[in-house]
Chain A
């Protein structure tokens, strides 16, 4: 039954109130109060300029975007064939692939990160294996560096990419591919001229969502990264927890929010049913 305007807003009220009290207000308050600590507009502007001129902060912004880009490309290259195989698979094969994607997806990020620490650590499984086989003389440094961050984050974000790509690929009309084959197109041509263009908006949506989520990553880089892998989210946490420097945290937050929210605006253009894809 259609709802009247009053009933509609009454039903929405609890959810909207929750977000107002525990999301919008705190974020707005934290940013404005922290900036106000600095004094006048001029002081705030000077602080922004100082922050943007600080080597550590500039490096963290570059790191964050570099790592996010690398993770996006890695998940895309790894996720594309898996999503494609899912659209082809039936029955048990499909279920098995789905389990391999969905089980990690719903497992706690900290558990997944810990799992890779067990595998990649100095006394980890890979090093035990390599040393045992005599392939290396001393343990390889697989973690606490960029490599560890990339492996950990790619693992955590891969399911998002696979599920987004799968949703798009599933809706591709198989008859188009048959038609192309019937008219003599070779498999490679069918892929580059028909299949890939038809799944391109899924590629964009998946890449954007992975990039957005990677930008705000904290747990995995904090546990698996080295001193050179400081990301923006970690820097914000550090400013608050260690230095109690709220103004700098607020400025970094604004930069992070501007980047993620503008990418999200682009994302909504690439996925008509953005709500369903996110789930």
Chain B
């Protein structure tokens, strides 16, 4: 009996270890390959260099696509977070008879395949000559980022005690004051999370950009896609490593914000 449970635990541990290693390995391999000094993809690399990063940074088309991605993601995350915040507040504090229906609508872009959303927006955009127009692409990205923002902010706002808002109002604080002095400070970490995650969603989005970017606004993922169609070259490893670094940075900032907030208020906000 004892030996059996010990064996089972050891077996589970090794299975989980192998799975976790396999989950992480592809990401680590890409990062290692990106520093390869060899002429082609070889693992482990025989020599190390920054040649693929230089090749990326000296190529106008790659750098241009990086700027396009940053610009679009920045616009998109601000729009998605602002709209999502207002909607989340309405969902949490408003009395709803059709809350489920509204929520189902707001979450729909997560369920509907991106190809469908992308082609539909493309169909419309082509008629209004909006292909390649960056604010338009940003809005399209905001559509798929909105559900995630909404989920994050809704659960954050649910945790804000309505009595705090009431108390502030009794002491003569207006709606705007309550918002600025009570609600916002309490949910700041979640607003930052929402901004970061919606930024990442837009920054990494491929399918919608593929249709809407045109030649003018090729984003980084679209550039990777076009390049992958031709060959699996190590420059993409360098670009991928930059994208992975951006993800890590976002996750670390998010984690840090939460730790800070817990420390400050002594509880999970």
Question: Contact between A15 and B83 (Cβ–Cβ < 8 Å)?
Answer: yes
Q: In the docked arrangement, what's the CA distance between A116 and B96, Å? A: 46
- Chain A residues with Cβ below 8 Å from B169 are 1
**Structural contact, B248 and A121, CB atoms closer than 8 A:** no
- Interchain nearest-CB distance for B89 vs A (Å): 6
Of B15, B16, B42, B148, the residue contacting A128 (CB under 8 A) is B42
Complexed CA–CA distance, A31 and B166 (Å): 48
B99-137, CB < 8 A from A: 102-117, 119-124
Q: What per-residue 1/0 map shows which CB atoms of A81-121 lie under 8 Å from chain B? A: 11011000000000011011111101111111011111101
Q: How many residue-residue contacts, CB under 8 A, span A and B?
A: 257
- B109 and A15: CB pair below 8 A? no
Known: A215-B113, A261-B111. 6 other contacts (CB 8 A): A9-B90, A12-B102, A19-B106, A118-B29, A118-B43, A275-B151
In the complex, how many angstroms separate the beta carbon of B52 from the nearest chain A beta carbon? 13
Chain A interface size, under 10 / 10 to 19 / 20 to 34 / 35 or more: 35 or more
Inside 8 A of A26's CB, which chain B residues have their CB? 117, 120-121, 123-124
Report whether B121 and A1 are in contact in the complex, using a CB–CB cutoff of 8 Å: no
Closest B residue by C-beta to A88: B12
Report the nearest B residue to A122, measured CB to CB. Answer: B232
Kindly list chain A residues whose C-beta atoms are within 8 Å of the C-beta of B121. 22, 26
Which one of B58-66, B200-208, B259-267 contacts A?
A: B200-208
Q: Does A56 count as interface, using CB distance less than 8 angstroms?
A: no
Contacts of A215 in B (CB 8 A): 113
Write the B79-92 contact mask toward A (1 if CB under 8 angstroms, else 0).
Answer: 10011101101110
- Tell me which residues across on chain A come within 8 A of B243, comparing CB atoms: 107-108, 111
Name A187's contact: one of B8, B24, B175 (CB within 8 Å): B8
Q: In the bound complex, do residue B27 and residue A104 qualify as a contact, i.e. CB atoms below 8 Å apart?
A: yes
B119–A237 touching, CB < 8 Å: yes
**Which 8 A-B pairs rank lowest in CB-CB distance, beginning with the nearest?**
A216-B113, A8-B94, A115-B26, A108-B204, A11-B90, A26-B120, A15-B87, A100-B20
Given contacts A112-B26, A187-B8, A278-B147, contact A8 B42 (CB under 8 A): no
> What CA separation (Å) do A124 and B94 show in the bound complex?
55
Interface assignment of B228: CB less than 8 Å from any CB of chain A: yes
With A19-B106, A107-B244 already in contact, the answer to whether A27 and B83 are too (CB < 8 A) is no
Which residues of chain A are within 8 angstroms of B187 by Cβ–Cβ distance? none
Whether A212 contacts B250 by the Cβ 8 Å rule is: no
Contact A82:B20 (CB < 8 A) given known A15-B84, A29-B123, A216-B114: yes
